[in-house]
Structure 1
Amino acid sequence: MRILSIQSAVAYGHVGNSAAVFPLQRLGHEVWPVSTVLFSNHTGYGAWRGPLIPASDVADVILGIEERGGLAQVDAVLSGYLGGEEIVDVVVDAVQRTKALNPAATYTCDPVMGNARSGCFVAPAIPALIRERVVPHADIIAPNQFEVGFLTGTDPATLEETLESVDRARDMGPRTVLVTSVERPDRPEGTIEMLAVDDEGAWIVQTPFLPFKANGSGDVTAALFTAHYRTSGSAWDALEATVSSVFDLLQTTLDSGERELQLVESQEAYAHPRRQFAVRQVR
């Protein structure tokens, strides 16, 4: 499979394309990364160096890929954090041109806006841009529970409320929704869940909650789910494989005592997921 991934990049550590590309390659997929920023490190450190790539330059890189005949070969487009209106236009244009050349291609949008602990941490204009101009073009979206509520104007807590929010999101265009960081009030203490919904049903999986902040884990999750879903066509299978790989990545990182994801050290977890967590159908 060939994947066009339009995301941020960092030299030190693993977020954006610097998190998503290697796991996809370890699964055997061809990835064409297009950088929207090139920072020294992720912004969670409070200080960083390096440039924002002008949207016109990002568009030129994508045009160059198209001129080589590349867009017609793309099976999936993937995007993560979107920093402004101009880059939104570039991503949407790339998706439209890719699908015009290959109608079987899909688009996965990870609508990065915030989380339940930090709230919304993007510029005020970004959520509306994602909701109104990006999500309608997506086939797959991968919000966390907070973000699916933000997208749909809801405040989901229970499983039933989260499923209702997902249905509203699916009415916006995407047929497949992966919801990460699902924290229902009635879940067992010390656990966290992930939910996948498509036209065939809804499935949830529960893992132990690992108590640390892992920048880039959402980027890995969206990438792996896209790859597994496009390969198998099964939401439950993609969910099972993805959650296994991501949990092992996070456990390895926690055990290491390092702040950055131990992405390379965890490569066997992507190539051969242990599938140690049971997926349960909830609809």
Structure 2
Amino acid sequence: MKILSIQSSVAYGHVGNSAAVFPLQRLGHEVWPVITVHFSNHTGYGAWRGPLLAPDDVAEVIAGIEDRGVLGEADAVLSGYQGDPAVGAVVLDAVARVKAANPDAVYCCDPVMGDVGRGMFVRPGIPEFMRDQVVPAADVITPNHFELDFLAGTTTRTMAQVLDAVDAVRATGPRDVLVTSVITEDGGAGGAGGEGDSIDVVAVSDDGAWAVTTPLLPITPNGCGDVTAALYLAHLRTTGSPAQALMATTSSVFAVLERTLEAGTREIQLVAAQDEIASPPLRFEARRLR
């Protein structure tokens, strides 16, 4: 598979394309990374250096790829954090160009906006832009629980409510939805999500809905969402099965988190966990919700 990945880049650590490209390559996929920023490190440190690329410059790189006559070879477009609607417009234009050249290509969007406990951490106007323009243009989206609630305009506390919210968002355009960091009062069919020591990841498609429950580890490093979106896109397109993609993705990401916890670092340990990325151990079973 060939993937056009339009995201940020950092020299030190792993977020954006610096988190997504290596796992995709380790799975054997060709990645065309287009960077929107090139920072020294992720902004979670509170200080960083490096340039924020102008939207026109990002568009120029994509135009150069188009000049090679290869956009039609792209099987997917992947995007994450979009700090400016102008960059978002460049992403949407790239998606349109790729799909015009290859109607079978898909767009996977990680609608990065905020999280529980932090609220919205993007610029004003970005959440509405994501909800109203970007998400409806996507085929696959990977919001966290907080972002799903915003996209659906609701607050979900049970698994049934989460599924209703996913259905509302799917009605706007995307067919495949992966919801991460799901914590509910009932814990869904597994009855574990409300206990405080576990967390659910939910996958929904035209074929049904599934959930995987994993232990809740005491770390929240930057970049895991970027890895999750990349891996789910890859496994979903490779297997054609949301349940299989869900199990493979959660198993690999959990292995990355375990390695990161063992290392005692705030940077996710992608290189150390590369074998578990290349050959997911399938430690968690997907249960069917409907």
TM-score band by shorter chain is over 0.9
| Between 18-27 and 114-123, the greater mean CA deviation after superposition | 114-123
Tell me how far 1:123 sits from its aligned partner.
1.0
* Amino acid aligned to 1:43: T
Identity of aligned residues (%): 60
Counterpart in the other structure of 1:137: 137
Counterpart in the other structure of 2:204: 197
Q: State the SS of the aligned residue for 2:199.
A: strand
1:63 to 2:63 alignment? yes
Counterpart in the other structure of 1:9: 9
What are the residue-to-residue correspondences of 1:100-249 with 2, within 5 Å? 100-186=100-186, 187=193, 188-249=195-256
Q: Distance in 2 between matches of 1:135 and 1:257?
A: 35
Counterpart in the other structure of 1:84: 84
Report Cα offsets for 1:203-258 as digits up to 9, x if no partner: 00000001112100000000000000001111000000000000000000001101
Counterpart in the other structure of 2:261: 254
Q: State the SS of the aligned residue for 1:265.
A: coil
| Between 184-193 and 47-56, the greater mean CA deviation after superposition | 184-193
Q: State the SS of the aligned residue for 1:77.
A: strand
Report Cα offsets for 1:65-102 as digits up to 9, x if no partner: 01101211000000000011110110000000100000
Q: Distance in 1 between matches of 2:59 and 2:155?
A: 36
* Amino acid aligned to 1:197: V
Unpaired segments ≥5 residues, structure 1:
none
Name the TM-score, length of structure 1 as normaliser.
Answer: 0.99
Counterpart in the other structure of 2:190: none
* Amino acid aligned to 1:99: K
Q: State the SS of the aligned residue for 1:278.
A: coil
Q: State the SS of the aligned residue for 1:51.
A: coil
Q: Distance in 1 between matches of 2:172 and 2:84?
A: 21
| Between 126-135 and 104-113, the greater mean CA deviation after superposition | 126-135
Counterpart in the other structure of 1:26: 26
| Between 220-229 and 123-132, the greater mean CA deviation after superposition | 123-132
Name the TM-score, length of structure 2 as normaliser.
Answer: 0.97
Superposition RMSD in Å: 0.7
Q: State the SS of the aligned residue for 2:107.
A: strand
Tell me how far 1:160 sits from its aligned partner.
0.6
Q: Distance in 2 between matches of 1:180 and 1:232?
A: 20
* Amino acid aligned to 2:241: S
* Amino acid aligned to 1:195: V
Q: State the SS of the aligned residue for 2:180.
A: strand
Q: Distance in 2 between matches of 1:70 and 1:263?
A: 29
Report Cα offsets for 1:96-135 as digits up to 9, x if no partner: 0100000000000000001112111111200111111111
Report Cα offsets for 1:45-68 as digits up to 9, x if no partner: 000000000000000000000110
* Amino acid aligned to 1:276: R
Q: Distance in 2 between matches of 1:151 and 1:192?
A: 21
Q: Distance in 1 between matches of 2:155 and 2:70?
A: 41
Tell me how far 1:152 sits from its aligned partner.
1.4
* Amino acid aligned to 2:87: I
Unpaired segments ≥5 residues, structure 2:
187-192
* Amino acid aligned to 2:165: S
1:265 corresponds to which of 262, 272, 277: 272
Tell me how far 1:136 sits from its aligned partner.
1.2
* Amino acid aligned to 2:244: D
Report Cα offsets for 1:5-37 as digits up to 9, x if no partner: 000000000000000000000000000000000
